């Protein structure tokens, strides 16, 4: 049985989705906006691993940092969609399958740690 939390797997799945989507970005966006999206998603995954390794009383500040990185990621996704690097259908899929649920999980984690 796998012990990694559901939040970790949501980000992991999202990262795989981004690797597939970003290879179709126009060259002028692929190596800056696309790379930032990937880097922020990796940072979120790394933060989840770090948070899980901390004692409970030290988790809150890192969970809040995860929330900030996630907000930064959402802004870049919106930009990619507005620049037509991510289609409306892809953006809707990302929103419904990942963004809403990840946001709820991070919010729940913040409430738990507070």
CATH value at residue 48: 1.20.1440.60
| pTM listed for this prediction | 0.90
Residue 60 lies in a domain: no
Residue 59 lies in a domain: no
Domain that holds residue 26: 6-53+67-113
Domain total in the chain: 1
Q: What's the sign of the alpha-carbon dihedral 71, 77, 82, 83?
A: positive
pLDDT digits (tens, 9 = 90+) for 41-95: 999 999 999 999 999 999 999 999 999 999 999 999 999 999 999 999 999 999 9
Interatomic CA distance for residues 113 and 26, integer angstroms: 41
């Amino acid at each position: 049985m796998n012990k990694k939390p559901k939040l970790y797997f949501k980000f992991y799945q999202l990262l795989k989705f981004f690797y597939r989507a970003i290879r179709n970005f126009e060259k002028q966006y692929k190596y800056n906006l696309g790379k930032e999206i990937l880097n922020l998603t990796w940072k979120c995954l790394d933060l989840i691993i770090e948070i899980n390794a901390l004692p409970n009383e030290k988790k809150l500040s890192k969970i809040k940092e995860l929330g900030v990185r996630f907000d930064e990621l959402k802004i870049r996704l919106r930009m990619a969609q507005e620049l037509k690097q991510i289609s409306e259908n892809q953006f809707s899929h990302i929103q419904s399958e990942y963004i809403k649920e990840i946001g709820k999980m991070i919010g729940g984690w913040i409430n738990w740690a507070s």
